[in-house]
Structure 1
Amino acid sequence: MMRREFTQREKVLLLVLVVVLLLSGYVKLFLDPLNAQMSDAQNQLAQAQDLLTVEQTKLARMQKMQTELEDGDISGEVEIPDYDNINNVMIQLDTILTAASDYQMTFAELQFGNELVSRPIQMTFTAGSYSGARAILTALYQCKYCCALSGISVVSSDQNGSGDVKDQEVTVKLTATFYERNHSTIASDAEGN
């Protein structure tokens, strides 16, 4: 076997090779995983901050609703009347819809639940302007009898689209569902127990 001594140049090259191997090993074994962990941690922090923002928004909304309930803006004015309150509902609707230039109502079948009866009424009304229609919708929404508005569509009478919708006559279609207490179901449940 032949032994020969490395030249100065070969020793330097071997030393450079060892340093390169050590640096690449350090990068692959320690630095890359550490950078990946830091990147994951930053992503998790960003997601947590987004979630915190969403939760803070929800909390602010809930606090606002709580304040409105405590101020009495909502809590005491809406009542759920006993079943067959149609006469009172009609008087209320007539009062609200007098602001409309024309209106039609179609009564759907009553829907009986465990404790509530829902009375859906499809209605179409025409108002002189968008703000007039909005005032009627607001009055329906704030009706003293518990109701839900759904399927609302507003159509302007301006056929060619040249005018401002706020100043045009509009036709509104919607379903107003009034709720009533069904005491007969509650009474029969109480007798059955």
Structure 2
Amino acid sequence: MLTYTFSRREKVLMVFLAIFLILVVWYQFVFTATQEQLADLTSQIDAANDQIVTDTLKIKKIDEMEDAIAKYKAEGTVPAVVPEYDNVQALMASLNAVLSGTADYDMTFEDVAVNESGLVQRGVQLSFECGSYEQARSVLDALVNSGFPCSVDEYTITDNEAQRSGNARNAGSGSGTKQQPFSVDVHLTFYEKGNDSVPADVAQATGSASGGNDLSNSLG
């Protein structure tokens, strides 16, 4: 029977080979699997943290709304009720009533759109002239507190007297179109509850009117 005796060098090489094979198996089946589990756990932790942040913001928003409601109740303010779509007739009548004390007012109704919450948004561009800055602010306040929920997207109040004075100095003449002392441009978005009567394409023809005419029956 033949026997073979491994040399010291061969024994060392076999030991290193065995260790290498063990490391390969450990890396393939232990380390890699552990890393994948860690990555999955990290992803779950990140998702949980994102959800916590979202929930925290929601809770903060709810707290702010509750504080605002409590403040309004303490002041005796009646909260505005979101009307059902299509509220354009009642809205136009309300805006006409608010603007009736101004001069040369103009209203332009934009196409409606439905936001992510299912609320119908109705943009309205308004312009009017009035006799004082205080009246301009009073009309703006009345528009916001007209009874229909809305947001003021932007507004400008122009001092026509100062503008005319500057133009007269530059042109050397005071002639020009007669204007009220102040002009106001404001864009508001009014909100309505969506229902089955909202068109599939939520398209609404743009309507406008000016000069203080009653617009209650000009749009359908």
- TM-score for both structures, normalised by structure 2: 0.49
Deviations 1:8-54 (A, max 9, x none): 11111011100111122112111211121012101210111011001
Change (3 A) 1:47 1:85: closer
Change (3 A) 1:86 1:37: closer
Confirm or deny: 8 A CA contact 1:123 1:176 kept in the other structure.
no
**Which position in structure 2 is the counterpart of 1:124?**
126
**Which position in structure 2 is the counterpart of 1:64?**
64
State the SS of the aligned residue for 2:67. Answer: helix
Looking at structure 2, the residues matched to 147 and 103 of structure 1 have their Cα atoms a distance apart, in angstroms, of: 21
Q: Which protein has greater RCO, CA pairs closer than 8 Å, 6+ apart?
A: 2
Please tell me whether residue 141 in structure 1 is matched to residue 147 in structure 2.
no
Looking at structure 2, the residues matched to 17 and 42 of structure 1 have their Cα atoms a distance apart, in angstroms, of: 35
Partner amino acid, structure 2, of 1:92: V
Higher helix share: 1
Unaligned 5+ runs, structure 2: 111-121, 159-182, 194-220
Change (3 A) 1:75 1:54: farther
> Residue 141 of structure 1: CA displacement?
2.0
Change (3 A) 1:155 1:107: closer
Percent of aligned positions that are identical: 23
Looking at structure 2, the residues matched to 94 and 26 of structure 1 have their Cα atoms a distance apart, in angstroms, of: 84
Change (3 A) 1:122 1:59: closer
Give the superposed CA RMSD: 4.6
- TM-score for both structures, normalised by structure 1: 0.54
> Residue 154 of structure 1: CA displacement?
6.1
Change (3 A) 1:79 1:9: closer
Unaligned 5+ runs, structure 1: 109-119, 158-168, 180-193
